[in-house]
Structure 1
Amino acid sequence: MDPTSNPGSYEPPGPSHDRDEDPIHTISNLIAWADEPYDEPIADHFDDTDNQLIQVSLGIASGLFYSLQAKHFPTASHSLRVAKLCSRWAVELDLEPFQRDQLEVAALLHDVGKIGVPDYVLTSPGKLSTDEQVLMNRSQEIGLEILSACCDGEEIVDLIRYNYAWYDGSKKNSDVSGKDIPIEARMLAIADAYDSMTVDQIFRRARSKERAMAELNSHAGTQFDPDLVQQFCELQSRTTTPDTDSTRRWLRVLSPEQANKRWKANAESIAPQLSRSHAAFQDCLVRNSHDALIFLDLSLQIVGWNQGAERLTGLTRDVVEGHSWTPDLLGLTDHQGRKFGEGKDPVRAALVSRTQGKYRLSIRNAAGTFVAVIAHIVPVIGEDGASLGLTIQMHDATGVESLEEQVQSLHYKATRDPLTGLCNRAEMDRSLIDMVDRHTTVGRPCSVIICDIDFFKKINDTYGHQAGDEALIVFAKMLEDKARPGDMCARYGGEEFVILCPQCDNEMAAALAEQIRSDLAAMSLSALGGKHMTASFGVTEIQRGDTGDTILNRADRALLQSKEMGRNIVTQIGGGLSDPQIGDRRSWWTRMFKPAEPEVLLKRAMKTRVPLNLAAEKIRGFVADHRAEVLQVTENSIKVMIDGESLPLQRRVADRAVPLILDLHFSALMVENGSQHTKVQISISPRRNRDRRKRDAVERARHLLLSLQSYMVAYEFVDTSVASMDDHSSWWSRLWGGSSQKVGESR
């Protein structure tokens, strides 16, 4: 097991001594614990001999050992026992005197880094969490930094550093293995593990000597030097009582003067990040930053609080440092003033997820009032990937909020009608294009309702313009109240209004318009002397090939029909998206041996289940809505040109429009049940022959064909065996010869 994963204050590095043991070891531990007597608790002080040993071994550095003793007495006791084991073993191996001295000093101070580990981690009786294990692992780096700053030379520091290396070199971040590891470091690793296994720990009972030696042998060759393990086990087998002779030798040969030669101030060996000058620049930057800077450790304890935080919150560093972070400390809420749930504040969330974030929050400032702040919360990650804590940077966002409110106010004024408060025409045009594009893409229905107040000029002339304004406001308020959530109500101009209805078909839109019409007609207005006013409505649903202009023109044409039919009426036209799609149903034989003429982009035959006169009326609506130019009208046909600017699919402003020519030939059909249908032969070609090479010409033609099919409520027609009826050329000529009379469609 990796020594750096030791969860306790002095747990051995052997694989089976972690708190996550396999089931066999767990059962073995329970049996051993049940069979072994529980020893008396370890004393909380050293005797005079132990103190003398420490002082003559460490000299002036004995203060480091006594600091560790004050921090956690069991760890200091463990270090002293390991030093005694190493000293007796060094005599057995007949090491050089300087080697024994260095080994004893390294053993006494190998755990000095646990001075920097929080007490709750050292005294934890259970399995350590991931964050607690990170803090425990950090003790090795802390110990090496402490000793690097005061050791005269690197020998003792290297012994402690290589104590964590594995013999086979498999330990991560270790650059040595085997006999390249100093023998003192290999001995220290074995003695450290043995003492940890044979002494009671807060999280488990001690193992027997025999079991501890079995553990060492099981990991000889991987974690430990096999030769040294064998020698150490033989020594322990022969030893039954403490070796007082070794202790006497230690006292006899050591002196404080000799020990003091190992220690001196060693600024050159201190890591660059700990250098005094570098730290001075960092402290100055943090202290004088205008933004509030707060530093938290892994336990969310406040370890830093700069002057910016004092100015913003009114809390001084002396008051908060050392205390735990809670949202209540600053009255922390979200930007809408809502408190965070238990453990849901962004600070704790950033610590758990290890991801930084920027938040709009609200805190209580120095004056006791709540202000908006922008908080940047960043987890601090070490070079080894371990979490170290959090930094919180906050600055007052009151000015930013004020600017945002001004921008929102300007946007509202730019998109609203000042009299009614509804969207204005510019905003309606933008939203209409967006609605048509979205619903065309997904193939979902949407509708447009256009309406205006009947005889509005008469209201102004009779009751005055102020009464007219009141009538507009009342009508706008009714539209807004009756509209569904998500609908947009807009004042199109004068007394004319538009409702955009996403996710709405003709039937739903017509029902909504009828409800508004009936409620308005039943309402008496005080501005009109208690009289009523009415409105007319035109409703249409999106069809294949529609653009914003075509659907709005079709709704306007429905409104015109409502006015022509007597006003206070809802008229709905258009077939919507439910019509069958156009497909090429010609046989493969026809397609192969009867190719279309070179200049024609598309050529189709369709049939609609309406008489010829009504079909012609639908074509008139198509021509009007697409702003088509009528080029030629004959007895049975019409040819129109549609400018490319009014067609969809224009990808860029720089794309040149391709005008298209539609040639339509009509004939009346009589089907078996005696009803009259209309057959239409359609061909679409570019105005100029060279335009057919335009990249989007064919696609635009298909789009236009879909639109025409929707207007006519037609389907593709292949069978031409049905005979034509009598010639209607005289009627056709009158219809297209200048008459503007329209045939009303059914509501």
Structure 2
Amino acid sequence: MSVLLSAPPPLAPELAVQNRGRTAAAASAPPRPTDSPRLLMDLMDLRPPGGAPPGAPIAAVCRNALIDALRHRDHRTLTHSHRAAWLAGGVARGLGVGGAALAVVETAALLHDVGKIGVPDNILYKPGPLCTDEAELMDLHRGICSTVLQACGASDDLLAVIARVGAEDDPDDDARSEVHDLPGRIVSLCEAYDSLRTAQPYRDGYPHEAALKALSGRTSHRYDPTILDNLDRWVRTQGEASALDELLAPAQGAGTGSDPASALRAVRFCHIFGYLSLLETLYEGFCLLDADLRCTVWSPGLEGLLGHRASDLRGEIRTAGTLEFADADGNPLSDGDRPLDRMLSTGRPLAETVKVRRGAGANGRPGAGANADEWVDVEVQVFHLTDSDGGVRGVAEIYRNLNRPLSRPREYKELRRAATRDPLTGVANRGELESRLARALRESREEGRPLAVMFLDLDHFKSINDTWGHGVGDEVLKHLTTLLKAECYSGETVGRYGGEEFVVVCPQTDLAAAAKRADRLRRVIAETKVNGRSQPRPTASFGVAAAEPGDTVESLVQRADAALYLSKDTGRNKVTALTEAQRRDGADPAAAERRDRVADFRGAAAGGGFRLEQTVQACLAASMVTHKMRGFLEDHAARAISVTDSEIRFKLGHAGLTGRWGRRRDDCPVEVRVKVGAELMKTRSAAGLNDVTLVITPLGWGVKRAVWEERSGQVARDLRAYLAAGQSDVGQWK
């Protein structure tokens, strides 16, 4: 029975009082939990009831959910993980590894890169080697991967193997014995081998012999010759041409999938990884206790700070002897005075400064670390984790080392603000807006309350910039956001979606109320003067939608965006509210006209779409094409999709949640294929004029022909500047 209902001494009886059903006291429920408890609650909920089956390294449902999230985040990383697992399994069998140990090897190879779910796009898709700071951030997410796997109930063996992948060797660590470290060294070597074999935007893939030679130069505790020889033997006996080469073939698309449920799970994981990244940056580490006060997560940062291994504490019930505390003056804290005791007795979140003895150990076991038995000054925050009904599900403890010289809360706060705010207007940027909307939609479902979204766009804003200058245009945007923030209620979110488009998220507001409020905002905007000027006098068009059963963030935003376009198509400076039934049935008379005037695309697979194909005479040998394209990808912030000897595919721009093309170049996404001609393939080392074919297709919808021709023509000109000399605009638009 849960300690929330039947609490054993000495620490937990208060929890039982707080969670004895939904009594009359529930009428005075505490305020809505903050982001931290909600996201940490999501983290705890990753573990399925009953955990993993006996002998399994992780529950299959957790493994599949992580793989699905990685598929949505980055298909290239997913295919690399599958290839690494295929290789590691074969090498392990060749070395006599079987049973549960073999399952650990294959699962570790499959999941070793799931930390990349939370890596920012500019690093994850960078078409070049990582710099030192970027590599450090990637290492941070490897630690976050361990935290998430702990929450999923992964076995200690699986966590130990994944921790070895990509880690530096420590010859003084006695735990890395020949027997216990063999799975980790197998996975490390196979992962590194596949990384070398796979082509990157900035280099070709290594042939088999070249990859082995490169790894043999790195042989160490991880890359030892015995495992390398077994890898070589296994690949050769399996038939490289028929098996391995097929698996190493680049993916033919981004592979984001279309299942709404899996997409929502992927977004959920992205939110968890993003929050943990922030938590690991601001604090040293944290731990989670379940309803029985049993440790479910002990983050890697706490291992370094307090000297206790996660493998020693996970699954252990917190007792008075687990951690030793003292007050700021060094006086030991007795039962009832420790931070957790006090939070349980009052039922309120607590934050205080205390000392914790490092390496005192759990249940008499010695802790890890060279500085055992010393006292560490920390700030500890303790709070309950509650579910949507207000029931207490567990406890979180977050620690910050007060002696760390790099702890700069003000700078981190400023960094957080810079990452989530639009620099011109100060309102939420697109990323923060989408995160808040996802949270609001989840709360709307859980609590059964309405939710509405307003999408607004300034009318004829380009003419304001052209007539009055961009400085006045910026004043108009700032003035608009000031009005929106002043007119919005507490708990609502105003965000800049891009350019002159803004979104207002309105919790606890139905469609009719949101439409009335949007019309009031429209009138306020039309009647106001910008900084006292008589001109310009901007107006705005609004689209309004409310959450309906089965809605996702994307469907809700797209419906509000469709309503906005109806307002603009039927006169501007007006408000249109749209339900899903109206949108689907075309009940609005403007819908048919809009469909006739705007080309609707759902990616490159849509039939009858726009397409630009040009042939360029490249004064390059084939060996130089990839080198040239690396410079193009870096200069234009492009995302590489696949690279082969005969074709390079990449994506330029992004359309956001709505999928609709915007006005700025970056808001008009296209897919580009650079195909190397046959003559160029024959003369790999020779320079001369050879054919390179450029194929450009739009991604998204709302693509107007004039905008498409301007966008695709500019992309083609930019590419020719890298590949050719003296080429005219020769090609064909479709």
After TM superposition, the score normalised by the length of structure 2 is 0.28
In our comparison, the structure showing a higher alpha carbon Rg is 1
